[in-house]
Amino acid sequence: MSHKNTLMSRKEKIRVHSMDDWFSGVYIKPFGTEKFSVPAYEISEPHRHDFYYCVLLDKGSMELEVDFEKIRLTEQSLFLSYPGQIHRIISAQMERGWFLAFDPSMVDKQLKDILDQCLSEIILVPLSSTQSMNHFSFISHLYTVYSDPAQMFSQKIIHSMVTAFVYQIASAYLSIERSDLFRHSVRSIEITKTFKQILRRNFKTMKRPSEFAAKMSITSSHLNDTVRAVTGFPVTYYIQQELMREAQRLLFYSDLSVKEIADSLGFEDAQYFSRLFSKVVKMSPGAFRKKSGTSVQL
């Protein structure tokens, strides 16, 4: 059996909740003191979704762990998780709000580009009372259509409404992001966002700043200087962060060996991968994996 087949056949412990397992295209659920209880798997098991996952919290609080980072949602806030991120609910006192999940195929190219160009890995937006009320009302109407089997053209309506709602999420996030970037030129922000988008989609195959610069038809130094000026960090930092974030997911929640993880991320030298991991994460792959109580395979 080839190494590739061995890698594919090895059991992975990262639980992936597929939209095909539960529902078709969209899932909407209200939550409240009487209406909703958190499923046991959400609290006890870190897992991945192959779809976008949104929480609109109008009243209450919620604590999540997303890719090893704790996130706290307070009243009148909006959270969006990307497909592939590992997360779990740590605690939840949710009195009023909505869960919304939707398949990536529902997102048009322009909207997917916007989401992929967000500079933050976690979209968490505080809302004003008016914004929260408007969003709550919008999803309530969406839920009415979603729950009505007699509604004609329901799939078309739901698709259009979900798209409109996600554009509103993107608008709210970008308003905050732009207020943080007002000192920078439009061109500098555009370059940085394009780099982030390309990185999110190609981090396993593109690892050198020069590759990104060539794809963007600019020089490596210009790309690096621009990204550093806008974000405070160089291009290499983001490349390494993206790779090591996925490495942490696999080390913590799978039984793939360190060499197999290195191979899956496009590293030909497992020892180099281990050294880079230790540099970025501040501990060896073995020490990191011990957090999950599993043994390290080299």
Mean pLDDT, the chain, integer: 87
Backbone angles phi, psi at 23, to 5 degrees: -160, 175
Q: How far apart are CA 274 and CA 268, in angstroms?
A: 12
User: Is residue 298 predicted with pLDDT exceeding 50?
Assistant: no
pLDDT classification of 211: cutoffs 50, 70, 90? very high
Summarize the confidence of residues 203-231 as an average pLDDT.
97
Q: 293 versus 238: which is more confidently predicted?
A: 238
2 part of a folded domain: no
In this predicted structure, what is the pLDDT of residue 86?
86
- Kind of pairing, strands 86-102 and 69-73? unpaired
pLDDT classification of 17: cutoffs 50, 70, 90? low
Which of 180, 196, 216 is a domain's end point?
Answer: 180
pLDDT tens by residue, 185-194 = 999 999 999 9
277 part of a folded domain: yes
Which of 127, 150, 180 is a domain's end point?
Answer: 180
In this predicted structure, what is the pLDDT of residue 2?
45
17 part of a folded domain: yes
DSSP 8-state assignment for residue 239: H
Same domain, 154 and 206: no
pLDDT classification of 292: cutoffs 50, 70, 90? low
* The total number of structural domains that make up the chain: 2
Cβ partners under 8 Å of residue 224, min gap 6 = 209, 234, 235, 236
Q: Which residue has the tokens 């501040």?
A: 282
- What CATH number does residue 127 fall under? 2.60.120.280
pLDDT tens by residue, 74-125 = 999 999 999 988 888 888 888 999 999 999 988 899 999 999 999 998 899 9
Domain that holds residue 251: 186-292
- What CATH number does residue 233 fall under? 1.10.10.60
